[in-house]
Structure 1
Amino acid sequence: MAELGDRLRNIRKRRGLTQIELADRSGVSVATIRAVEQGAQERVRTETARRLAVALRVETSALIVTPDAEEPAATDVELWAEVRRALEGSYAADDSSEPPTVAGVAQTFSEAKPLFRRGRFSELAPMLVPLLRDADHLVSAAPSGDTSARSLRSRIRQMVGWQMVLSWQFDAADTALRLALDDAPDLRAAVPLMDAECWRYIRQGDLAKARDTATRWADDLEPRRITRASRDELAGWGLMLQRVSTTAVRDNRPGEAADALTFAKMAATGIRYGEHDSKDGLLHTFGPVTVAMLEAENAMVADRPDVTLAIGERLEGVKYPLPWPWNRHRLDVAAAYAATGRPADALAVLHQIRRDLPEWLVKQRYARDIMAGMIDKRRTLTPEMRELADFVGVPY
């Protein structure tokens, strides 16, 4: 397989462009293009690869060779160490005199969900080890034909999988999601797992795998008659269409992204009222607001911050049930403010996210990118900018 530099140079030459002309068309610096082609820089961010792909009229995945992923923070590796071991069946013996029950474990899991959704990870981690241990016990003790314990364990493992993707621990995420899929009782329950799997691929920069997975599942989940489909069926189909769209726009497939978005809007219209919150998913609600946030995200990827801001203003004040996706949308709004020369507004949005989900925000490379971009445009920084840059971990 050709390395990134070889691919970039070969495609550029086939398009009849010099390095300077490619830089002009893409907005990527000549220095970066030269470093990549000479092998001094072996990988680029997915966003940079997309800009080059647009200028060269190829898919982004045609350029990406090395996955675009961060190393997990040492603090996250330490925080989730016991959870990773418990996932593999290694945990201390239970010294409780009473065996766990499905009702008891389900109740504890319901208490863990708000911690997960609110990004209170330091409180969540200690709860997951006994949950995994007790779920394993329930499954091993379950009578033949009783799937309730396996279904519950699938949702617990799903929570671990999402958490491992968020903290860039992809090997553990793969284990958690694979085991959760094995426990999933039906296709509907598997949808959130495939959504997490696609998110993992996107975070790693493996757009081809993300797109293939999302497309396959969207095809399998498409209702035979949309007018008679249940809210659960429409939400599952819509969620996978969202992943098709968001992956396609990153892979410089604008037509495919637009088509998937159109079908997602159709599914959202079929929900009829409000946002449908899936009982099987932890971060999964679907409806018109969810699709509008996707449209704002796609616009930001496609360098249309004006569209992102217009949608953001329309959604301002909306009561959305899930903090993670809502604040991910607000990051798009902050990025759009920064891109249109409104750094004060961008900072205001970032500060609001920090107040709402501080532990979640520090794990967002997107937040670091927004801050780094604003820092690069200024000769001096205000105390507020310096403090926020330190908080989200902008490198020096």
Structure 2
Amino acid sequence: MSTAGQRVKEVRKRRGLSQRELADASGVSLSSIRKLEQGERETARLETLRKLAHALRVPTMRLAGGPNPEDAGADTVDRWAAVREALVRPPVAPGLDDEPPTVSGIRDSLREAAPLFAHDQYTALAALLPSLLRDAEALGSEGRAVRVRLLQLAGWLMVQTRQFSAAETALERALDDSADRMEGAATVNTLCWLLLRQGELGKAYDLAVKWADETEPRVSRATPAELSTWGWMLLRVSAAAVRNSQPGDAEDALRFATAAAVALGREHAPNNDFLRTFGPTTVKLKAAENAGVIDRPDMVLRIAERVPVFSLKPTSNNRNRHLLDVADAYAKTGEYAEAFGRLEQIRSDSPEWLPNQRYARDVLGRVVRGRRTLTADMRTMADVVGLPL
């Protein structure tokens, strides 16, 4: 847990103030601020913290120590309210003058919306999804396949934006409606990710192992879709294991995933599903992610040298997450300019994705703590990713 002095220092740098400027603005002596930030004093009187907080334009308890909520922010909750409602409410019967929805019409709409999902266009999707979800539900049994796909995508978006209860609702509904093992595995892939983000490592591991066993093909006869599906289950096994201090299991799963990728020979997206793109590059990305989890920034950067990152589309499922891993590795090794450059690259490519990433806040926090002063761009980025003051 950070001390009051560390919190004062972090906020002061975010505001672009020197210790002298903070002393002048707050009326607290320069000597007191220096001692507090250098740890010579573990705390300060509440009145001193209040003066500092007033000058820094933050609540006093931010400096004294307070909660740091991890749930979706109020803006996110408001933006997706209509989507969450559409996921849980029964379909509305069309009026007499309404054209009833059709399977082909919803399928075409979903196809046209594919670029919005692939490029994290959250504002547009929040407006589009409620009516699509309601219409798909109104189709009944004949709309099962398109409804499953829509629920898979909606669940994925809810995980992205940390609305975990809504994500579970969408994904469980999609799994219940799945017609076969492959369709079910596409949903389970995201369910495992949901469990990982919730910290349910044991559940994620058990679910991924179960489905890896159920989808394991005979490699010599496997189709690209089968190899991709099995490979992703193995990557989820590895991700859960490495986070749960099971390094042997993580390495074994990654080795099998590598074998599936080698057999596939290239990146493949079953049925053009960007969420399930799998191949040699994807395995390298996840190997780098695992290295970051075990705090091996040197290994992350070494793997990154072999990843053709600029040939990848800037979506949250591949390049953006990898760039965060690389940024984190640079920050851990003290190369703060390189780390910040990766964050700027992500912001340029996916401006609506970045603010939802707690990982980005962690990385920028390392940069902020490591630098004596912050540039104007760094202070702006801190506001973009919601780094707490």
Note whether the superposition's TM-score is higher than 0.5: yes
Output aligned runs, 1:226-237, within 5 Å: 226-237=219-230
**In structure 1, C-alpha distance between the alignment counterparts of 2:181 and 2:69, rounded to whole Å:** 29
Name the aligned partner's letter for residue 227 of structure 2.
L
CA contact (8 A) 1:159 1:282 kept: no
For the pair 1:384 / 2:377, whether they are aligned, the reply is: yes
Output aligned runs, 1:89-238, within 5 Å: 89-90=89-90, 94=94, 97-139=98-140, 142=142, 149-223=143-217, 225-238=218-231
**In structure 2, C-alpha distance between the alignment counterparts of 1:112 and 1:306, rounded to whole Å:** 39
Name the aligned partner's letter for residue 78 of structure 1.
D
CA shift, 1:91, in A, is 6.3
CA contact (8 A) 2:336 2:370 kept: no
Q: Which residue of 1 aligns with 2:278?
A: 286
SS in 1 for 2:352: helix
CA contact (8 A) 2:91 2:137 kept: no
CA shift, 1:216, in A, is 0.9
**In structure 2, C-alpha distance between the alignment counterparts of 1:125 and 1:394, rounded to whole Å:** 24
Measured against aligned partners, the alpha-carbon deviations of 1:183-240 in whole angstroms (never above 9, x if no partner) come to 11111011121111111111111111111111111111111x2111111111110000
SS in 1 for 2:387: coil
CA contact (8 A) 2:368 2:374 kept: yes
Q: Which residue of 1 aligns with 2:5?
A: none
Pairwise CA RMSD of aligned residues? 1.9
CA shift, 1:129, in A, is 1.2
CA shift, 1:313, in A, is 2.1
Q: Which residue of 2 aligns with 1:58?
A: none
Match of 2:248 among 240, 255, 270: 255
CA shift, 1:332, in A, is 0.4
Q: Which residue of 2 aligns with 1:75?
A: 75
Name the aligned partner's letter for residue 88 of structure 2.
E
CA shift, 1:107, in A, is 0.7
Measured against aligned partners, the alpha-carbon deviations of 1:147-182 in whole angstroms (never above 9, x if no partner) come to xx1011001011111111111111111110111111
Q: Which residue of 2 aligns with 1:18?
A: none
Name the aligned partner's letter for residue 360 of structure 2.
A
CA contact (8 A) 2:229 2:276 kept: no
Q: Which residue of 1 aligns with 2:260?
A: 267
Q: Structure 1: which 5+ residue stretches go unaligned?
A: 1-67, 143-148
Measured against aligned partners, the alpha-carbon deviations of 1:313-333 in whole angstroms (never above 9, x if no partner) come to 222444225611221011101
**In structure 2, C-alpha distance between the alignment counterparts of 1:284 and 1:308, rounded to whole Å:** 23
**In structure 1, C-alpha distance between the alignment counterparts of 2:188 and 2:272, rounded to whole Å:** 12
SS in 1 for 2:316: helix
Q: TM-score with structure 1 length normalisation?
A: 0.77
CA contact (8 A) 2:297 2:330 kept: yes
For the pair 1:364 / 2:365, whether they are aligned, the reply is: no
Q: Which residue of 2 aligns with 1:43?
A: none
**In structure 2, C-alpha distance between the alignment counterparts of 1:395 and 1:84, rounded to whole Å:** 27
**In structure 2, C-alpha distance between the alignment counterparts of 1:342 and 1:159, rounded to whole Å:** 37
SS in 1 for 2:295: coil
Q: Which residue of 2 aligns with 1:354?
A: 347
Residue 189 and residue 69 in structure 1: after superposition, are their counterparts in 2 closer, same or farther (change >3 A)? farther
CA shift, 1:111, in A, is 1.7
SS in 1 for 2:378: helix
**In structure 2, C-alpha distance between the alignment counterparts of 1:281 and 1:395, rounded to whole Å:** 36
Name the aligned partner's letter for residue 304 of structure 1.
R
Q: Which structure: larger Rg? A: 2
SS in 2 for 1:279: helix
CA contact (8 A) 2:355 2:385 kept: yes
Name the aligned partner's letter for residue 386 of structure 2.
G
CA contact (8 A) 2:314 2:350 kept: no
Q: Which residue of 2 aligns with 1:319?
A: 311
Name the aligned partner's letter for residue 160 of structure 1.
A
Name the aligned partner's letter for residue 97 of structure 1.
D
**In structure 2, C-alpha distance between the alignment counterparts of 1:277 and 1:195, rounded to whole Å:** 14
Residue 367 and residue 348 in structure 1: after superposition, are their counterparts in 2 closer, same or farther (change >3 A)? same
| Runs of 4+ with >3 A deviation | 90-97
CA shift, 1:380, in A, is 2.1
**In structure 2, C-alpha distance between the alignment counterparts of 1:374 and 1:328, rounded to whole Å:** 18
Name the aligned partner's letter for residue 174 of structure 1.
E
Residue 247 and residue 368 in structure 1: after superposition, are their counterparts in 2 closer, same or farther (change >3 A)? same
Between stretches 342-351 and 321-330, larger displacement belongs to: 321-330
Match of 1:331 among 318, 324, 327: 324
Name the aligned partner's letter for residue 336 of structure 2.
P
Q: TM-score with structure 2 length normalisation?
A: 0.79
For the pair 1:393 / 2:380, whether they are aligned, the reply is: no
Measured against aligned partners, the alpha-carbon deviations of 1:28-86 in whole angstroms (never above 9, x if no partner) come to xxxxxxxxxxxxxxxxxxxxxxxxxxxxxxxxxxxxxxxx9821111111111111111
SS in 1 for 2:371: coil
CA shift, 1:392, in A, is 0.5
Measured against aligned partners, the alpha-carbon deviations of 1:324-375 in whole angstroms (never above 9, x if no partner) come to 1221011101111111111111111110100111111100000000001111
**In structure 2, C-alpha distance between the alignment counterparts of 1:288 and 1:318, rounded to whole Å:** 15
CA shift, 1:110, in A, is 1.0
**In structure 2, C-alpha distance between the alignment counterparts of 1:219 and 1:329, rounded to whole Å:** 27
CA shift, 1:87, in A, is 1.1
Q: Which residue of 2 aligns with 1:31?
A: none
